[in-house]
Structure 1
């Protein structure tokens, strides 16, 4: 018989307050709007105008992100028993839609300027200002994306990707405006702005796809499944096995449910102690993981009749999860 673990269960890791990153994004957006608007006013470049427009969208998106993170950080209540972590997906969806708005403004402005080109002025100082704004956006983008990956926050990842898109936009605009200064072909400014708009649309589609997947209870990543199944396989022997593994994620929260099949003669306390040890090990491997287990007698055929239609395979191909060992 498998010995029951004696280690005390670990408390569920609390979520991290990520609002400081949203405030960083807001301050950065305000600074870049001021810088890029000044550059556009000096040069009258539609490319720089499109760049400033995207930074305005960045500010709106950062405010939305702050609201979403504030809502997601609230504790569970009698009405929201699992908390409000999915608020982050709404933020990512709004940010994706805002990217489309920015792209539309850029594309329309680019077409108008292509039809009616204008000479550009004060390019040197205008481009220098954009370089400063781009460096600022790039640094903050890396901070947000790293924090989003560390804390599994789609809101911060979306905001970071948006800022990185702004950096790419600025790079394209700098190249285009620089070529205008070298060649004198004014319509090139509009063509670069149009290409920037198309690139922004691609980023918006990516953000919307990720947010919709989260709202639809997407399973955990494959690397998380590997960690989980390795633990369950290691604990499997002639007396204990597992099946019906399902996972999902919601913002920083990760959820797991699995059926635990134990010897028929185990007492309730023995089974409870075993499950406590299992949950302790799983949470230690994946912080912020909420574990739901279902204890079943291993030799009862009924234990194999309630396996979910969609589940994560735990054992190898030679193992039949619908039959008891040796059955």
Structure 2
């Protein structure tokens, strides 16, 4: 099993435990804050299950229906997760405004504080694990999952802080005010994840830095005369590169193929943390103008 899939299994198990803990105490104590946190953990569980499904299917080999595989499930999962984070934040904001408009007295502070404290400790351990997996694999789904649970630490911390302050001061407005701040932070944190996932789904080109590296590798080969129509895109853990290489007319097809193979090896070494797919079109002359005319018509 891939490390990424193991990470989703761990996050799913942790989310299940947190849902049971918070839901039980939230219902028994009548604490709206803890119950809202339980609903958030239930969303976490749903997202983790979806991430496992996405990673499990994205690594399947290409077949007759999906010639390029299912790697786009990874950015799709990131978009879904970022959207759920934003929706959770809107729910927290809604609850916060509701509490300001209709203050409610909280009960069973001891049990609620204990559950939220345990939740923070467990979630912190999970975030540390997910971040280490994300650094090793550079997988955006795991990175999004780590961000999701990181926001949970802040939201749980806000609930815990609110419970503590309310128990000392008796001021119930502390809870919704802190909740509003956490909700805004969650939306701010989710936006980059959604943006990156959408760009991948739209086949956006690689970064300018990566494209510059590709050009340097191609231009470093003195045998090739020129190149054009360099196109790149990223899909989850896969990178796709296509380019037209212009060779001297006197070179044999065999030698041109060898040079192309060497270029492929160099390009793959540059993206060793990704699965790189390269298509090199070998031209005996510069046909860029002809191709541009075809694109127009």
- Output the TM-score relative to the length of structure 1: 0.79
Counterpart pick for 1:203 among 179, 184, 189: 189
Task: Return the alpha-carbon distance in structure 2 between the equivalents of residues 114 and 203 of structure 1.
Answer: 25
Match of 1:272 in 2: 257
User: Which of the residues 262, 267, 283 maps onto 2:268?
Assistant: 283
Q: Is the contact made by 1:243 and 1:307 (CA closer than 8 Å) also made in structure 2? A: no
- Report the counterpart of residue 235 of structure 2 in structure 1: 250
* In structure 2, C-alpha distance between the alignment counterparts of 1:34 and 1:215, rounded to whole Å: 35
Structure 2 residues not aligned, in runs of 5+:
none
Distance 1:222 1:137, change over 3 A: farther
- Equivalent-residue separation in structure 1 for 2:252 and 2:243 (angstroms): 20
Report 1:232-243 matches (<5 A): 232-235=218-221, 237=222, 239-243=224-228
Larger % of helix: which?
Answer: 2
Aligned equivalents of 2:28, 2:215: Cα separation in 1: 60
1:1-327 aligned within 5 A? 18-41=4-27, 44-235=30-221, 237=222, 239-287=224-272, 288-297=275-284, 300-303=285-288, 305-306=290-291
Q: Mark the CA change 1:134 to 1:79 in structure 2 (over 3 Å): closer, same or farther.
A: same
Output the CA distance in 1 between the equivalents of 2:288 and 2:132. Answer: 43
Larger RCO (alpha carbons 8 Å, 6+ apart)? 1
Give the Cα separation in 2 of the matches to 1:17 and 1:257: 30
CA distance in 2, matches of 1:18, 1:271: 39
SS at match of 1:306: helix
SS in 1 for 2:259: helix
Q: Mean alpha-carbon deviation: is it higher for 20-29 or for 151-160?
A: 151-160
Q: Which residue of 2 aligns with 1:325?
A: none
**SS state at 1:21 partner:** helix
For residues 303 and 101 of structure 1, the distance between their equivalents in structure 2, rounded to whole angstroms, comes to: 47
1:37–1:93 CA distance, 2 compared to 1 (3 A): same
- Per-residue CA deviations over 1:34-91 (Å, capped at 9, x if unaligned) read 2333453565443333322211110011111111112212110022111010012222
Using structure 2 for the length normalisation, give the TM-score. Answer: 0.86
What is the aligned residue count? 292
Displacement after TM superposition at 1:242 (Å): 3.0
Q: Structure 1 residues 27 and 16 mapped into 2: Cα distance closer, same or farther (>3 Å)?
A: closer
